[in-house]
Amino acid sequence: MTPPIVREHGGVSVIRDDLFPGGTKARFMPVLFEGAEEAVYASPAEGGAQTALATVAKDLGKRATIFVAARAKLHPRTLEAARLGAKVVPVRPGYLSVVQARAKDYAKTSGARLVPFGVDLPEAITRLADAALATGLDPDELWCAAGSGVLARALDKAWPRARRHVVQVGRELAREDVANATIHVYPRPFSDVAKAISPFPSDPHYDAKAWETMTARKGPGRVVFWNVAGPARP
C-alpha cells in the first residue's frame, strides 16, 4: 500500500490524495476487478468515481463502462474517464434513477460487475483505515466531504477518538452513514462548484466544499483534512 502524502496548508494537515493516481477511491477499486474483466458504474455527471474507475481499469488492463446523464457537453470528469479508456454511455432522460437502471441492466446482460453507489464496499473501509493509519497522524479533529459516507466510516475506524466532521455535498446523509460524525450540509447542490478555492488542487464539486466549510468551523488542536481528488484534468 502506498501511504498517503500529507502536506500542511493553513495549519491543517491535508491528506493529499489528489497526488494519488485516480484519487482516494482508486485505493480500493482494484477489488472490483477480482474475478471480473469489466466493471460498470452509474455516475452523477460531476462524480469523481468515474475517473477513479477508469484509472484502475487502465492500470489493470481491464474494462470500465460509465453510464451517465446525456448532456450537450459532457462534464470534464466524464471526458477524462473516456480519455483513460472507459466506455461512456450517455443516458436520456438523465435522471440518476434512470442512469442506475440502465447500468444495472447492462451488468446483467454483459456479466460486468456492477459498482454500488459511492463504491460502498466493505473492503473500502479496511483499506482506507489502513491508509489513514499509515500517515502516522494523530488528529484531534477530522474533516472530509461525504457522498456515500465510506471515507467517514473508515476514518472512524482509524481514529475513533478524534472529533469527526463531514460536509454533505449531495444526497441526504444519516448519522449511521458517517459513523455518527457531525454532519454539515453544504448549502448548494452537488452540481454547483464551491464558492471558495482551496490552496491545493481539489474537486470543486466535492472536497473544495468541505475545505470551505472547515475553514469557517474547525476547532482547536491537530486538525486533519482528507482531500479525495483534484479537479478533472482539462
Quick: pLDDT tens for 147-161: 999 999 999 999 999
pLDDT for the residue 23: 97
Question: Are 134 and 216 contained in the same domain?
Answer: yes
**Cα–Cα nearest to 202, from 68, 13, 4, 19:** 19
Per-residue confidence (pLDDT) for residue 117, from 0 to 100: 87
Residue 177 structural domain:
6-23+121-227
Provide the pLDDT for residue 182.
98
Question: Considering only CA atoms, which of 115, 131, 108 is closest in space to residue 1?
Answer: 131
Q: Is the model's pTM score more than 0.85?
A: yes
14 and 64 co-located in one domain: no
User: For 179, phi and psi rounded to 5 degrees?
Assistant: 55, 40
Sheet of 6-9: strand order equals 6-9, 12-16, 223-227, 141-146, 163-168, 182-185
- Residues 131, 53 share a domain: no
pLDDT at residue 208, as a whole number: 98
| Segment (H or E) for 124 | helix 122-134
Domain count, the chain: 2
Residues 6+ apart with CB under 8 A from 25: 48, 49, 52, 53, 119, 124, 228, 229
Burial of 207 (C-beta count, 10 Å sphere; 0-12/13-18/19+): buried
- pLDDT for position 233: 82
Q: Which of 96, 119, 142 is the last residue of a domain?
A: 119
Whole-number pLDDT of residue 84: 96
Mind listing the pLDDT tens digit for each residue in 69-104? Answer: 999 999 999 999 999 999 999 999 999 999 999 999
Per the domain annotation, does 232 fall within a domain? no
Give 173's pLDDT tier (boundaries 50, 70, 90).
Answer: very high
Give the C-alpha separation, 78 to 59, whole Å: 18
Answer whether the bond into residue 93 is a cis peptide, omega within 30°: yes
Predicted local distance difference test score (pLDDT) of residue 1: 76
> What is the C-alpha separation between 132 and 146, in angstroms, rounded?
16
pLDDT digits 0-9 by tens, 18-75: 999 999 999 999 999 999 999 999 999 999 999 999 999 999 999 999 999 999 999 9
Q: Which residue has the cell 450537450?
A: 72
Query: Would you say residue 234 has pLDDT above 90?
Result: no
Judge contact between 29 and 50, C-beta under 8 A: no
Q: At 210, which CATH number? A: 3.40.50.1100
